[in-house]
Structure 1
Amino acid sequence: MRVFWGQGYEGASLTDLTHAMGITRTSMYAAFGNKEDLFRKALDRYTEGPASYGARALQEPTARQVAAAFLDGSVRATTRPGCPAGCLGVQGALATGDPGSDARDALTAWRNAHTSLLRDRFRQAVDEGDLPSDADPELLARYLMTVANGIAVQAAGGTARDDLQQVADMALRSWPPA
């Protein structure tokens, strides 16, 4: 997971991957299939580990608290000491050629799935009166995901955690009132 996170799909060589896992190529193919299959497993692990803040955020009692937890989690996950900066789900395969298209498509589906989860949670908030009836759950979800993705890109570029937290806090100032 960390090799793909730090180097991206195309930048991660089989030598890098097998070295990080302490296994041979033959063992890697036997255990994980091909590089694309290993990438998908790494993305699952990332989702359950560093990116698990997304699932936790959805459990918050109000839409504003969901948004705050999601953005705070994004800042923490993308600037975590001892881990690659940025987000595997954002930078893992944005700029890939044809050989990396499966990984790029997997990440697009991953980001879209998380946007859909946010949208559904915000629809629930509208139905419960926690968001105004004219709030657009799809737009709110896309807005949050766009800010979080931007935080990830900025983190990968070396922007400090405190500066990124200020961005997250600023984004929340435009959150619709209940």
Structure 2
Amino acid sequence: MDSKQQSVMGRPRGFDAEAALERALLVFWEHGYEGATLTDLTTAMGITRTSMYAAYGNKEELFRKALARYTEGPASYVAKALEEPTARAVAQALLNGAVRATTRPDRPAGCLGVQGALAAGAPAQPAQQALIAWRQDGGEAIRARFERAVVDGDLPPDTDPAHLARYATTLAYGISVQAASGVSREDLQQIADSALLNWPPTP
């Protein structure tokens, strides 16, 4: 029997790869990479381990696919924020998006990209590195957007775009940690609004 036949036989009737991946995402989001066992994942996905390996690869590969889905779904507010016309509007959309995404009643609290593997043993190192790269990529995109704002005259010429990007992302990640600790959406929104009081004035 070839691998294709095994894949087909290993899948239960009605197997929906996208829906199963969404359920895996929620498990990783709630429990983190190491905390999400294969039994947790396959039970939530409604498939066997054989089907999981055939459709997604191993646990690390499944996590990477779940992270990509998270980026395109719950965390898509980051890419949308970069399209705002001013740097201040970018920061506002970023922080407001973080507040909304990390406090949805139908989703786990906090951010998969921040809490998925902050502390990790050796088996989870690849997942931890994937999340570090994910956060770095987001920070670089925001830095580049703020650099453009300086060139466009939207930010003062002496602005340090890298510093401002770290300021914005640190606040967004802090919002995520506070959300996971049970801080309410209303309180987090007040924090986001207060943070923008220190935003550089438009030249």
TM-score class, shorter-chain normalisation, is over 0.9
Instruction: Measure, in 2, the Cα distance between the counterparts of 1:28 and 1:126.
Output: 47
Amino acid across the alignment from 1:120: A
Query: Which residue of structure 2 lines up, in the alignment, with residue 115 of structure 1?
Result: 139
How many equivalent residue pairs? 178
For structure 1, the residue ranges without an aligned partner over 5 or more in a row are none
What secondary structure, in the 3-state scheme, does the structure 1 residue paired with 2:162 have?
helix
Instruction: Measure, in 2, the Cα distance between the counterparts of 1:46 and 1:20.
Output: 17
Instruction: Measure, in 2, the Cα distance between the counterparts of 1:143 and 1:43.
Output: 24
- 4+ runs deviating over 6 angstroms: none
1:3 deviates by 0.3
Query: Which residue of structure 2 lines up, in the alignment, with residue 46 of structure 1?
Result: 70
Query: Which residue of structure 2 lines up, in the alignment, with residue 101 of structure 1?
Result: 125
1:21 deviates by 1.1
Amino acid across the alignment from 2:160: D
Instruction: Measure, in 2, the Cα distance between the counterparts of 1:138 and 1:3.
Output: 34
Q: What does the per-residue CA deviation read over 1:28-78, in whole Å, with 9 as the maximum and x for residues that have no partner? A: 011111100000000000000000000000000000000000000000000
Instruction: Measure, in 1, the Cα distance between the counterparts of 2:32 and 2:175.
Output: 17
Instruction: Measure, in 1, the Cα distance between the counterparts of 2:119 and 2:161.
Output: 29
Q: Does residue 1:142 correspond to 2:146, yes or no?
A: no
Q: Which residue, 61, 78, 84 being the options, matches 2:102?
A: 78
Q: Which residue, 138, 150, 153 being the options, matches 1:129?
A: 153
Query: Which residue of structure 1 lines up, in the alignment, with residue 194 of structure 2?
Result: 170
Q: Which residue, 61, 80, 92 being the options, matches 1:56?
A: 80
Q: What does the per-residue CA deviation read over 1:79-99, in whole Å, with 9 as the maximum and x for residues that have no partner? A: 011100000000000011111
Q: Which structure carries more relative contact order (alpha carbon 8 Å, separation 6+)?
A: 1
What secondary structure, in the 3-state scheme, does the structure 2 residue paired with 1:126 have?
helix
Q: What does the per-residue CA deviation read over 1:113-144, in whole Å, with 9 as the maximum and x for residues that have no partner? A: 00000000000000000000001110011111
Instruction: Measure, in 1, the Cα distance between the counterparts of 2:168 and 2:124.
Output: 27
TM-score normalized by the length of structure 1: 0.99
Amino acid across the alignment from 2:187: D
What secondary structure, in the 3-state scheme, does the structure 2 residue paired with 1:96 have?
coil
For structure 2, the residue ranges without an aligned partner over 5 or more in a row are 1-24
Instruction: Measure, in 1, the Cα distance between the counterparts of 2:61 and 2:199.
Output: 39
RMSD value, Cα: 0.5
TM-score normalized by the length of structure 2: 0.87
